Structure 1
Amino acid sequence: MIRMVLLLLLLIAALAAAALSHGDHPFAWSELASVLTGRPTATRQAELVVMDLRLPRLLLAFLVGAALAVAGAGAQAILRNPLAEPGLLGINAGAGLAAMVVMVGLPSAPISLLPVAGFLGASAMAAAIYLLAWRGGTTPLRLILIGIGLGSVAMAGTALVSTLGDIRDVQRALIWLAGSVHHANWMGVQLLALWLAPPMALVMLATRELDLIGLGDLPARGLGQRVDLIRGMMVLLCTAMAGAAVSAAGLIGFVGLIAPHAARRLVGPSHARLIPITALLGGALVMAADFTGRSIAAPLQLPAGLFTALIGAPFFAYLLWGRRHGFS
């Protein structure tokens, strides 16, 4: 476990060094080190580009990836479905619809309103799913089916708002919804970090409960777990993390699907080991996707969500193929 964490931290450090030094204005390693350590030999231009533009973008990408990955691991545990992620429950679609309404319907609203709108949209979607799925309790299948249905409704609402809105506001919103962290700043990084700290900590404290609920409702109840309470709590925590990530960076898909599966291959199914590794893998994935997006066709800035989808869609097909007999 410790060795795996160290290897992932080295990978993240290498990605960070590459992302901070390469771009429209490349910097030598020595100059980058001067900027990061605050030496007087660093130029003003290097300080501006690295500290005010690239570093906040890098940190925001990591936080968004970690949030989506941990939310995906939680969703897979409570739904006992290896294909689950916040997008499957419709949570991401609810956050996206709320953000679209703010950006198109209230174009003069401050950008700081987006995280609030994203969380409220995700919360409203999660509450609707849970209430409609409640029949003296909840089951994973009902949550999934209702989440898919309400997610489709939210996507239709997003399309309707984009059709009726001003073309300039709609274009801005669609670029944002494609999933990008190019607009990152230090205030956004700080707000997202403060927002994610409590739900991340609660998920880490609930790893034993996640292991239990993964055994099935009847075995978990037999071991004394209040299954419906734990499932509801985890839906709330996944909503908080996914809603904040979507409101900060738009719809970056498949991170919550890829990272937990990769983490299970590396450290096994125990959530005490799985959650930290999942967070590191998710952060590294979005960091790599963003770096690729701004480097592969520079100076054009391609959204990170495009590259996570290019990886995630084949990965999803691979999971379906590998489990085709289990779904028959």
Structure 2
Amino acid sequence: MMRLATLLAVLLAGLVAASLAFGDISLSWRELMETIAGSADATPQNGMIVFDLRLPRILLALLVGAALATAGTIALAIMRNPLAEPGVLGINSGAAAAVMGVIVLMQEPPVALLPLAGFLGAAIMAAAVYLLSWQRGTSSLRIILIGIGLGSLASAATTFLSAFGEIGDVQRAMIWLAGSVYEADMVKVRLLFFWLLVPLALAWMSAGELDLIRFGDNAARSLGQRVDLVRGLMIVLCTLLSGAAVAAAGLIGFVGLVAPHIASRLAGPSHARILPIAALSGAILVVASDLLGRLVIAPAQLPAGIVTGLIGAPFFAYLLWGRRHVRG
């Protein structure tokens, strides 16, 4: 476990170093080390590039990836479906509809309102899915079906607003929906870091409960677990993590699907091992996607959400292909 975590941490550190060095204006490794060390040979321009422009977006990408991966691990466990991810709870569609509504319906909304609207939309949708799925208890199947239905409704609302909104407003919303860490700054990084501290800690402390609920409701109840309460609390944690990530960086898809599967393959079935490995894998995915997006068609930039989609869509197809003979 420690060897695997160390290997992933080294890989992440290498990606962070590459992200600090490469971009529109690339720095040599010597220039990068001089800038980080505060050497007298470092130029003010390099310091601004490294500390003011690149470091905040790298840290934001790291936090967003870890949050989405942890939320995805929780969703996989409570839904007991290998194709489940936080979007099943309506988080993505609720956030998208809320942000689109604020941008299109309000006259010049303040920039700070968009993350708040995204988080509130995600939270309201997740709460609606859980409440509507309650029928003398909850079940993963009802949550998935209702989540798909309400998500489609929210997507229809988003499409309606984009069809009849002002072109400039719709373009602003579409940039946010693409998912990126363009507008990162240290204030946003600090806010997200302190917001995620408690939900991440609670998620990792709940590893044993996730191990139980994954075996099915009846088996978990027979072992003394209060399944409905645990599922509700896990949905709250999933919403806090994924909703905060969406609010900070927009819709960065597939990280919550890909990272947990990578972690389970590498770390085994125990969630005490899966959760930290998934967080590292998610951070690696988003940092790498942001770096690729900056380099592939430079000087233009691809949002990280587009790059993760290009990675995640084939992975999703692979999961479907692997389950083509599974019934029920």
Q: What TM-score comes out, normalization by structure 2 length?
A: 0.97
Comparing 111-120 with 279-288, greater Cα deviation is found at 111-120
Which piece of structure 1 moves more, 240-249 or 128-137? Answer: 240-249
Determine if contact 1:293/1:302 at 8 Å carries over to the other structure: yes
Q: Tell me, what secondary structure is at the counterpart of 2:316?
A: helix
The answer as to 2:117 corresponding to 1:111 is: no
Q: Once the two structures are superposed, what CA deviation does each residue of 1:275-295 show, in whole Å capped at 9, x if it has no partner? A: 000000001001111110110
Distance 1:158 1:63 in 2: 27
C-alpha deviation, 1:126, in angstroms: 0.8
CA distance in 2, matches of 1:195, 1:105: 29
**SS, match of residue 6 in structure 2:** helix
Match of 2:192 in 1: 192
Q: What is the rounded CA distance, in whole Å, between the counterparts of 2:107 and 2:12 in structure 1?
A: 36
Q: Distance in 2 between matches of 1:156 and 1:327?
A: 31
Where do 1:10-159 residues align within 5 Å?
Answer: 10-159=10-159
State the alpha-carbon separation in 2 of the partners of residues 171 and 298 from structure 1.
21
Mark the runs of 5 or more structure 1 residues left unpaired by the alignment.
none
Matches of 1:173 and 1:67 in 2, distance apart?
23
Give the match for residue 209 of structure 1. 209
1:119 CA displacement? 1.6
Superposed CA deviations along residues 84-130 of structure 1, whole A, max 9, x for unmatched, are 00112221111121122222223533222222212211111011101
Report the CA distance between 1:195 and its aligned residue: 1.3
Do the aligned partners of 1:123 and 1:239 also contact (CA within 8 Å) in 2? yes
Matched residue, 2:260: 260
2: distance between equivalents of 1:107 and 1:4? 50
Q: Is the Cα contact below 8 Å between 1:114 and 1:248 reproduced in 2?
A: no
Name the TM-score, length of structure 1 as normaliser: 0.97
Q: Are the counterparts in 2 of residues 20 and 50 from structure 1 also a CA contact under 8 Å? A: yes
**Kept in 2: contact 1:95–1:246 (CA 8 A):** yes
Distance in 2 (alpha carbons) for counterparts of 1:303 and 1:142: 34
CA distance in 2, matches of 1:146, 1:35: 52
Runs of 4+ in 1 over 6 A off after TM superposition: none
Q: What letter corresponds to residue 191 of structure 1 in structure 2?
A: L
CA distance in 1, matches of 2:324, 2:56: 42
Q: Could you list the runs of 5+ residues in structure 2 that have no partner in the other structure? A: none
In structure 2, C-alpha distance between the alignment counterparts of 1:229 and 1:239, rounded to whole Å: 15
Query: What is the aligned-residue RMSD (CA, Å)?
Result: 1.1
User: 1:170 maps to which residue?
Assistant: 170
> Counterparts of 2:317 and 2:176 in 1: how far apart (Å)?
26
Paired with 1:234 and 1:322, the residues of 2 have a C-alpha distance of 27
Q: In structure 1, give the amino acid aligned to 2:114.
A: L
Alpha-carbon deviations, 1:300-321, whole Å to 9, x = none? Answer: 1111111111111111111111
1:197 maps to amino acid: L
1:73 CA drift (Å): 0.4
Check whether the contact 1:107–1:169 (CA below 8 A) recurs between aligned residues: no
Per-residue deviation at 1:166?
1.8
Contact 1:180/1:250 (CA < 8 Å) preserved in 2?
yes
Sort the Cα spacing of 1:135 and 1:273 in 2 relative to 1 into closer, same or farther, 3 A.
Answer: same
3-state DSSP of counterpart to 1:66: helix
SS in 2 for 1:87: helix
Q: CA–CA distance in 1 between the matches of 2:148 and 2:238?
A: 16
1:205-234 CA distances to partner (integer Å, 9 max, x unpaired)?
A: 100000010111111111111100000001
Preserved contact between residue 96 and residue 246 of structure 1 (Cα < 8 Å): no
Question: Contact between 1:5 and 1:277, CA under 8 Å: does it hold in 2?
Answer: yes
Structure 2 matches for 1:274-285, cutoff 5 A? 274-285=274-285
1:223 alignment partner in structure 2: 223
**C-alpha deviation, 1:135, in angstroms:** 0.2
Say whether the 8 Å CA contact 1:96–1:247 is kept in structure 2: no
Q: Is contact 1:69–1:278 with CA below 8 Å preserved after alignment?
A: yes
Distance 2:53 2:80 in 1: 40
Q: Cα–Cα, structure 1 residues 137 and 175, in superposed 2: closer, same or farther, change >3 Å?
A: same
SS of residue paired to 2:189? helix
**Whole-Å separation in 1 of the counterparts to 2:166 and 2:190:** 32
Residue identity in the other structure for 1:273: R
